[in-house]
Amino acid sequence: MFIEPKNNKGWIEVVCGSMFSGKTEELIRRVKRAKIANLNVRIFKPKMETRYDKVKVVSHDSNFIDSFPVDQSSEILRWVDDIDVVGIDEAQFFDAELPTICDKLANKGKRIIIAGLDMDYLAKPFGVMPQLMAKAEYVTKVHAICMQCGDVAQYSYRFTKSGGQVQLGESDQYEPRCRSCYIKGMASQQAGKRR
């Protein structure tokens, strides 16, 4: 489990993994602990992420905390003057400037906690996540459970091929899978079967 370092210097943390891996729950856990420590916290998320609620960061188990939806990562700079801990959820959907923004804020002494999908449904690195993971002092990969075999899962397997990279959805469209079950599924999709 991640234990916060004790210093006033800024740093960047990344919590990443597949869908249903508990990324947002871990972000919320860390932010809540910062609140208990009397730090000023604020969570941002991209405006397009409107799965359940426009303002709250909601995890799959309905654990929630208020957040600021923003159109662009540069907007974050306007809302963090009095903030010690900056949370960023669904970071994979942010624009290419986010890593620079996070660096800027960490250089000013702020703690940045980022949660996001490390890979898309094709198992390709997702958006700005690789850059963020490279810049971060601390990277935590969280894992889901493979819905096919019960092993540790790191892939977000999608049942439908249509829809492009960005398709928000729930368990009817996605399921977490381990490496071998993911590869099996993709092979049968290629062969024209559903699984």
Tell me the per-residue interface mask from 153 to 192 with Zn ion, x by CB under 5 A, - otherwise: -------------------------x--x-----------
Give, as ranges, the residues between 68 and 127 that touch Zn ion (CB under 5 A): none
Considering the complex, what minimum distance in angstroms separates the CB of residue 7 from Zn ion? 41
Sheet holding 85-88, edge to edge: 56-58, 64-70, 41-46, 85-88, 111-117, 11-17, 138-141
CB-nearer residue toward Zn ion: 144 or 181: 181
Instruction: Determine which residue in the list 148, 155, 157, 186 makes contact with Zn ion, applying CB under 5 A.
Output: 148
CB-nearer residue toward Zn ion: 34 or 146: 146
Give CA–CA dist 100/55, Å, rounded: 25
Instruction: Determine which residue in the list 27, 114, 146, 186 makes contact with Zn ion, applying CB under 5 A.
Output: 146
26 is catalytic: no
φ/ψ of residue 6, rounded to 5: -100, 90
Which tokens hold the place of 134? 């490279």
Give CA–CA dist 5/140, Å, rounded: 14
CB-nearer residue toward Zn ion: 167 or 180: 180
Considering the complex, what minimum distance in angstroms separates the CB of residue 184 from Zn ion? 8
Q: How wide is the angle at C-alpha 154 spanned by C-alphas 148 and 157, nearest 5°?
A: 55
Considering the complex, what minimum distance in angstroms separates the CB of residue 183 from Zn ion? 10
Q: Which of 13, 49, 90, 175 is the catalytic position?
A: 90
Chain residues binding Zn ion by CB under 5 A are 146, 148-149, 151, 178, 181
**Catalytic residue set:** 90
